[in-house]
Structure 1
Amino acid sequence: MQNNFINKLTAFSVLYVEDEDGIRNNIEEILKHLFKEVLTAKNASDAYLKYIQNKPDLIITDIKMGNETGLDLLKRIRQTDSKTRLIITSAHTDLNYLLEATELHLIKYIVKPITNDKLMEALESFVKSYDESKIYNLNTNWIFDSRKSIVSNTNEDFALTKKEAIFLKLLITKNRIITYDDLENSIWDDDSIMTANAMRLFIKNLRKKLPENFLKNIQGVGYQISRGLDS
């Protein structure tokens, strides 16, 4: 189960904001082993600029950072963005901070020190905050993110066409053979005809974006996943 959760993190990017160099460097090293992309900032101004430029999936920020606060940063982001997930870290357990933070719809409020267990619990909550039906493990280190129509491994991203994304989701969710009739009825447009050559080209191009031997042809019937999804 934990491998499944950690594998899903590789589909996401994170921005970590912390003004103490030692803490920031230590947590950054951990995050680099988990996320697709890791950005860091040491103050709210720098963090907001990186947020605008990169639009990370998750922001983890300390509350107190000199004259600036993580709460002010997140309030500014929440004015126009309700989707980016937020986690706050703080040495403070003051009720006023907690009440303000609650209004920002946080994933977690981590009380320092940030232990590995606390961090992992927060990151697991982050993954669970997404609709589980939208992110799938294809194989070890392989992810299908149906929100973005992207298949990715630890080294590369593959953008799927609309037809490819629909077909791959059918294969996963139906967990059965997808017949040639299914292909024609669910994927091909009413205005086009699924010729044998068009289907072969479609499958050939899709295979290049999937784990090796992931897609199995059932002669004369259709296609299925050659082995079960990682659990």
Structure 2
Amino acid sequence: MDKSLISKLSNFSLLYVEDEEGIRNNIYEILRHLFKKTFVAKNAKEAYNMYQSNRPDLIITDIKMPNETGIDLIKKIRKRDSKVRVIITSAYTDLDYMLDATELHLVKYIIKPITENKLKEAFEAFIKSYDDSKVFNLKEGWLFDASKSIIQNEEIEYKLTKKENLFLKLLLKKNRIITYQEMENVIWNEDNIMTPNAMRLFIKNFRKKLPSNVLRNVQGTGYRLVL
């Protein structure tokens, strides 16, 4: 897998569910090097408890398991969580399984055996699924979720103000220097005048929530991101 994909995956947590010990151990050895945190379960009951405790970003689950299937597991999770991404693995191409699975809003359905190429395609689809959710990779280990107004890394989560969220989205969307005039027009309004002191305080507080050296001041012009 290319470094860019691995870098993006390292921002996310994963729950991997597989009842066959040999497959579970082999695939885990790959997954644990790719994700920020990797949790492993051997059946649906154990997986559901891990999901509740850890709230992973992605779930990879086999379909055929004792007692409860992977589809049973995801249906239960979908009753309370529509956002967690799901990849299903199966040795079966049975149409009923596949039709049942399509109702669960999957990222990918992988037919076993699981290969590196199949995983790569599934992980690319997983990353792409965040495009519409406005999730941006600011720097290795740092994510900006515009829908939730948060910046997070492995250790901490920062809640952005409305002005900070607007400014960061503008910087990312334009991918160029954002002038002081643009900042005043977009971020401030008639009720909030952009005084020099207000600007300095805004930037000072905003920088505290960003990776170091990401926000660059262009003297006399404005600000830009260095990603």
Between the aligned partners of 1:47 and 1:151, the Cα distance in structure 2 is: 28
Show the 5 A alignment for 1:47-62. 47-62=47-62
**TM-score w.r.t. length of structure 1:** 0.83
Structure 1 residues without counterparts, runs of 5 or longer: none
Judging changes above 3 Å, is the alpha-carbon distance between structure 1 residues 83 and 212 closer, same or farther for their aligned structure 2 residues? closer
Match in the other structure for 2:72:
72
Contact 2:11 2:142 in 1 (8 A): no
Contact 2:13 2:56 in 1 (8 A): yes
Q: How many residues align?
A: 227
What letter corresponds to residue 191 of structure 1 in structure 2?
Answer: D
Range 118-127 or range 7-16, more displaced: 7-16
Note the alpha carbon deviations across 1:23-48, whole angstroms, 9 max, x for none.
Answer: 33333333233223322222111222
Show the 5 A alignment for 1:184-203. 184-188=184-188, 190-203=190-203
Range 14-23 or range 153-162, more displaced: 153-162
Matched, 1:117 2:117: yes
Judging changes above 3 Å, is the alpha-carbon distance between structure 1 residues 6 and 147 closer, same or farther for their aligned structure 2 residues? farther
Structure 2 residues without counterparts, runs of 5 or longer: none
Shift of 1:194: 2.6
Match in the other structure for 2:32:
32
Tell me which stretches of 4 or more aligned residues in structure 1 moved more than 6 Å. none
What letter corresponds to residue 115 of structure 1 in structure 2?
Answer: T
Shift of 1:157: 4.2
Shift of 1:69: 1.0
Judging changes above 3 Å, is the alpha-carbon distance between structure 1 residues 14 and 100 closer, same or farther for their aligned structure 2 residues? same
What letter corresponds to residue 173 of structure 1 in structure 2?
Answer: K
What secondary structure is seen at the aligned counterpart in 2 of 1:143? strand
Between the aligned partners of 2:100 and 2:38, the Cα distance in structure 1 is: 27
Match in the other structure for 2:14:
14
Between the aligned partners of 1:197 and 1:136, the Cα distance in structure 2 is: 30
What is the RMSD computed on CA atoms of the aligned residues? 2.6
Judging changes above 3 Å, is the alpha-carbon distance between structure 1 residues 88 and 161 closer, same or farther for their aligned structure 2 residues? same
Match in the other structure for 1:136:
136
Shift of 1:71: 1.3
Range 17-26 or range 62-71, more displaced: 17-26
What letter corresponds to residue 23 of structure 2 in structure 1?
Answer: I
Match in the other structure for 2:108:
108
Shift of 1:153: 4.5
What secondary structure is seen at the aligned counterpart in 2 of 1:11? coil
**TM-score w.r.t. length of structure 2:** 0.84
Judging changes above 3 Å, is the alpha-carbon distance between structure 1 residues 50 and 130 closer, same or farther for their aligned structure 2 residues? same
Between the aligned partners of 1:97 and 1:116, the Cα distance in structure 2 is: 23
What secondary structure is seen at the aligned counterpart in 1 of 2:61? strand
- Give the fraction of aligned pairs with identical amino acids, expressed as a percent: 65
Match in the other structure for 1:168:
168
What letter corresponds to residue 49 of structure 1 in structure 2?
Answer: N
Shift of 1:173: 0.9
Contact 1:89 1:111 in 2 (8 A): yes
What secondary structure is seen at the aligned counterpart in 1 of 2:224? strand
